Structure 1
Amino acid sequence: MEQVLIVDGYNIIGAWPSLQKLRDISLEDARDRLIDMLAEYQAYSGFKVYLVFDAYQVPGLGKEYRQSRLRVLYTKEKETADELIERLVTELIGRRRQITVATSDMIEQHVIFGKGAYRLSASELYTRIVQNRREIQQRIHRPTTTGRHTLDNRIKSDLLDKLEKMRRGENLP
């Protein structure tokens, strides 16, 4: 079953203290940090992640692009993030697909739940991401019990970092 996670970007930024502090300095940096965190989560969890940002007051047709294999969407003029999320849920809902929406907006949680999607609060998503990171760290630092000599044990960490960025689809310098 395909698992899809739709994230209300500004709602999450406003709910996570570390991103709130970063937002107060630079909204763009807070968005980029959230994108990085969700890209890592997507790469490890297997969820297909859509990140939605509200461009309600900005003229234009909205846009969608991929960054680190993550789908980032900005709303159209006079469209709210909630409206775009509801439209995405309607388009994506189907057999063999589980849709989860991450937002702490209670009204939006009720609406998407009524459309058949699961809901996830900002704090629950944060907990999942932290747990995801712990699992990644444990896998990286777990000693090999089989006695096998794998390639990743012999490659320098800077090269491993570059390979990981390539795996995630990030641009290299």
Structure 2
Amino acid sequence: MRRVLLVDGYNIIGDWPELKQLQLKDLEGARDILIEKMAEYQAYTGMEVLVIFDAHMVPGLGKKYRNHRLNIIYTREKETADERIEKLVREMKRVDTQIYVATSDFVEQRVIFASGAYRKSARELRNEVEEMEKNIKKDVIQTKQSRVKTKLPITDEMAEIFEKWRRGER
């Protein structure tokens, strides 16, 4: 079963307290943080994520690009994120696809639900992201504590060097 999450970017930014404050002085920074969090969410959950931003905040023709293996869409001028999301839901709706839409816009939630998609409020998404971040931290700590035991008699310093090479770090 294919699972897709469509995120109304500026709606989420306007709802999450930390992004809401940041957007007042650095809208691009708030967008970047949301994109990074959604990329982590996609990697952690395995759910395909598309983040849709209204063009009125970024004038010009609509564009679509990938960042962090995440699809990011800026709507065309005079097209709202809600309109694009509704169009995407219609295009993607299939028996083998579950579509979720993250927005706190009540009208949009009703339209999406009537189209056969599931809704996810900004608060629900934020709670899921916070829980995911806690789990990632816990996993990292456990991984560091349970170091792989090797049969080769090497020092901890050498094991750390080999681990960096394995990860492609210098």
TM-score, normalization by structure 1: 0.83
**What SS class does the counterpart of residue 142 from structure 1 fall into?**
helix
Give the drift of 1:141: 1.3
Q: How many angstroms does 1:137 deviate by? A: 1.4
Provide the residue aligned with 1:171 in structure 2: none
The equivalent residue for 1:70 is: 70
Does structure 2 conserve the Cα–Cα contact (< 8 Å) formed by 1:57 and 1:77?
A: no
**Take 1:143 and 1:37, find their aligned partners in 2: how far apart are those partners?**
22
Of the two, which has the highest radius of gyration? 2
1:27-46 per-position Cα deviation (integer Å, ceiling 9, x unaligned): 00000010011111111110
> How far has the Cα of 1:142 moved from its partner?
1.7
Distance 1:117 1:136 in 2: 28
Q: Which runs of 5+ in 2 are unaligned?
A: 151-155
Q: Measure the CA separation in 2 of the matches of 1:51 and 1:143.
A: 31
Question: Within 5 A, what are the aligned runs for 1:8-47?
Answer: 8-47=8-47
- The 2-side partners of 1:103 and 1:155 are apart by 44
Partners of 1:155 and 1:41 in 2: how far apart? 29
- Within 1, Cα distance between the matches of 2:59 and 2:127? 35
1:60 is displaced (CA, Å) by 3.7
Question: Pairwise mapping of residues 80-159 of structure 1 onto structure 2 (< 5 A)?
Answer: 80-142=80-142, 148-149=148-149, 154-155=159-160, 159=164
CA apart distance, 1:148: 4.7
Identity among equivalent positions (%) equals 50
What residue ranges of structure 1 are gaps of 5+ in the alignment? Answer: 167-173
Deviation at 1:59, TM superposition (A): 5.2
Q: 1:145 to 1:120 in 2, by over 3 A?
A: same
CA distance 1:113–1:21, shift in 2 (3 Å): same
| TM-score, L = length of structure 2 | 0.84
Report if aligned partners of 1:57, 1:78 keep a CA contact under 8 Å in 2.
Answer: no
Counterpart of 1:52 in structure 2 is 52
Partner of 1:2: 2
